Amino acid sequence: MTMTRVVYAWGSGGAGQLGTRTDLDYSAAFDQIIPGGCHTAGRTSRGELYTWGDGTHGQLGDGSNASVQLEPQIVRNIPQVERASCGWWHTVVVAKSDDSHRSSQVLAWGHGHESKPALLLTLPPSIHVTSIACGWKHSLLATQDGQVYSWGRGRHGELALGSSVKDAKVPTLVESAPPTKIVFCGWQHSVFLDTSGQVWACGSNKHGQLGQSTSGNSFTLERVVFPQDNERAAVVSVRSMSVGWHHAVCIAEDGSVHAWGKGDLGQLGLGEFASESIPRKANSLLEQVVQVACGSEHTLLVSASGQVYSCGWGEHGNLGHNHTSNLNRPTRIDFFETHAIKINFCLAAGATSFAISTAAS
């Protein structure tokens, strides 16, 4: 019995970022899809990396600034890729070096870097990178021992390096970070999910995306306090989450869904077109949610039954409902139910959406 992976894509394809104009067999070729603002990457099981979409800032890594690449092209002259993240104008990968030590290399290309892969950092074999993320002009990585490194533009505090550091040209250790499991980059803010299930954020809070009732930038990490928490202890422990440009949606250990940040397009899924500066529990969900994915200003939710719900910005068809309206409540995408397709996982970035189904054949 063979397992076949099928990738479904919808939303904005103006720069070719959906990758649908190709005869390449996604189910055989790509072990992972990594969507970005207007470009996308695909990683094979052999660690090869392909990119397609907008390349005007060199984010495709082919050494050029091609305007649009409709078909996936391999990124050459890089070692075996373990992890990748696509931002708005740049791409970051973690790869295993070709030397006998098999150390990890952090490479980047695109805006602020070269148009072909450039080495930023070499980590010893004992340090394993568990998470990387790219924002508008900044990046983060977390290691298996809970440390976090940040680099890029930090003028709103998104680097978590203090008010004296406005930019960092190389990955810099965030000494104030708690033991961190996963990192996320918004447009100009950063979110850390620590090993105990607590959420920390820094950077721009213009739309309440830091989960703090006070406005203004934060140059240091602040813990996101849920209304259910009390003075003595945090009650809400986060299992998984996703971060958009200016909003966040998370799933707590008890299965409840919470959202905060910018909500004017309905991306919080709370039944209103309004922002929330502190986490608010979603009470209108019809099914148990097991995974969430945030695009720039829309949200996808996968239910335990394998159905996909969407809400938020729909201008480019990125909600999957055959219209371009915005929705403020998670609404089931009929396509998957109609075709009896069970979705295992969703991805979103910019105005693009991807759903992955795995079935025996």
* pTM, 2 dp: 0.93
Closest by Cα among 49, 40, 42 to 17: 40
SS (H, E, C) the chain: CCEEEEEEEEECCCCCCCCCCCCCCHHHHCCEEEECCCEEEEECCCCCEEEEEECCCCCCCCCCCCCEEEEEEECCCCCEEEEEEECCCEEEEEEECCCCCCCEEEEEEECCCCCCCEEEEEECCCCCEEEEEECCCEEEEEECCCCEEEEEECCCCCCCCCCCCCEEEEEEECCCCCCEEEEEECCCEEEEEECCCCEEEEECCCCCCCCCCCCCCEEEEEECCCCCCCCCCCCCCEEEEEECCCEEEEEECCCCEEEEECCCCCCCCCCCCCCEEEEEECCCCCCCEEEEEECCCEEEEEECCCCEEEEECCCCCCCCCCCCCCEEEEEECHHHHHCCCCCCEEEEECCEEEEEEEEEC
HSE value, Cβ hemisphere, 13 Å, CA-based, for 84: 31
- CB count within 10 Å of CB 107 equals 25
> What pLDDT is recorded for position 323?
94
> What pLDDT is recorded for position 312?
98
> What pLDDT is recorded for position 316?
93
pLDDT 10s digits, 262-279 = 999 999 999 999 999 999
Fold of 226-361: Methylamine Dehydrogenase; Chain H (2.130.10)
> What pLDDT is recorded for position 23?
40
Low-confidence ranges of the chain (pLDDT < 50): 22-28
